[in-house]
Structure 1
Amino acid sequence: MRKVYLDRTELTGAINVNLKDTEIKFAGTTIYSMSVNERNEAYKKYAADYDIQFIFDDDIPHIEFYTVPHLDIMAKDSKGGFIGTIDQQCDLESDAPIYYINKDLECLIISENGEGFLSNIESWQDNLKPYEKLTVYRSKAEAEMELEFIDLAELGIVDDNL
C-alpha cells in the first residue's frame, strides 16, 4: 500500500481524503493557542512553578521544525522545548499522550494522557522517555526529500477556510 503525507499546517477544520490503495498520514507542526481572555492565575502558576508556558494568541512562538506525523503544540518551556500531542488537537482532558520536543529536536513522551500529565506536573521533566515514532525535520522541504506528499488542489479539493 502506498503511503502519502498531507501537510496539516495550512489546513483548518476537519478533512477526509480517501485514495484507493493509499494510506494518508497528516504531517506538520501546528500551534494550539488560547485566547488572551483565558489567561488566569492557574496558567501563570504553571509558568512560574513548573516552567510550562501555555501559548496564548498574543505570544505565538515561531516553530523552526516540521514533524511527521502531525504535532499540535500547546505550551513551551524556558529551555526551548515544546509540549503537545500527536495526530490530534491539544486537549488535556483527552486520552491523547503528551509529548515534548526538546531544543535538540528529540521527541520524548511525558505522559500517556492529559490527566497523568497534570497529576505529575511538578515532576514532568523527570518523567521524559524517548519516543521514536515521531520524526522531526528542520523544514517541510527536508521532509519532502524523503516522503511523498499530496496536494489537495491537485485532487480538486479546496479548503475554503484558508
Structure 2
Amino acid sequence: MEKLFFDVTQNDNCISVFTKDAEVLQAGTTIYSMPIKDKNDEYQKFADCYDIHFIFDDYIASIDFYTIPRVDIMAIDSQGGYIGTVGGMSDMESDMPICYIDRDSKVFWLAKNFKEFLKNCKNWKEQLKPYDKIELFTSKEEAQRKYEFVDIHA
C-alpha cells in the first residue's frame, strides 16, 4: 500500500487523514509543552535524578530538524538530546513508541510506550537501541523531495 504523509507542524487542528488507496501518516517534528502551572517537585525529580527535562511553556526547545514519521518532543536532556513520541502526540495512555534523538542526529528506540519509559527511566540512557524507523531531514521541503505529501487544505 502506498504511504502518503501530511505535515502536522502547520496543521494544529488535523489529527488524521483517511483515504482508501493509501496509508496516510503524520510527518514533522512538534513540541509537547506543558503549562507552567503544572511544574512540580515530581518533574524536578526527573530533571535532577534522571536528566529528563520535560518541556514547559516557559522554555520551548528549538528544533532544527524535520522527521518522518512525526516525532512529538516532550523532553530534553543535558547533552542536547530529545525524547519524543513516534507517530503522534505525546500521551501517557498511548501505545506509541518513545525515541531519543541525540545532538548528532542519531536516533534510538527508548521504550515501547510512555508508561514503559516512565517505569524504566532510572537507567534510560543504558537502554538506547539504534532505531531506523525515523528519518531526519533539515526541512519539510527536503522531506517532500523524497516523500509524497497530502495537501489537507485542497
Judge same fold: TM > 0.5, yes or no. yes
Q: Deviations over 1:45-79 (max 9, x none)?
A: 11111111000001001110000001111000111
Q: Using the TM superposition, give the Cα deviation of residue 96 of structure 1 relative to its aligned residue in structure 2, in angstroms.
A: 2.4
Aligned counterpart, 1:82: 82
Q: Deviations over 1:66-117 (max 9, x none)?
A: 0000111100011111001111211234332211011111211111122221
User: Relative to structure 1, is the Cα distance of residues 14 and 146 closer, same or farther in structure 2, using a 3 angstrom cutoff?
Assistant: closer
Q: State the AA in 1 paired with 2:57.
A: D
State the alpha-carbon separation in 1 of the partners of residues 3 and 90 from structure 2.
25
State the alpha-carbon separation in 2 of the partners of residues 15 and 73 from structure 1.
17
Corresponding residue SS for 2:133 = coil
- Between Structure 1 and Structure 2, whose CA radius of gyration is higher? 1
Residue 73 (1) aligns with residue 83 (2): no
User: Relative to structure 1, is the Cα distance of residues 128 and 19 closer, same or farther in structure 2, using a 3 angstrom cutoff?
Assistant: same
Q: Matched residue pairs, number? A: 154
Aligned counterpart, 2:132: 132
Corresponding residue SS for 2:24 = strand
Which runs of no fewer than 5 residues in structure 2 stay unpaired?
A: none
Output aligned runs, 1:1-162, within 5 Å.
Answer: 1-153=1-153, 155=154
State the percentage of identical aligned residues.
Answer: 47
TM-score normalized with structure 1 length: 0.87
- The worse-fitting range, judged by mean Cα deviation, of 21-30 and 121-130 is 21-30
TM-score normalized with structure 2 length: 0.91
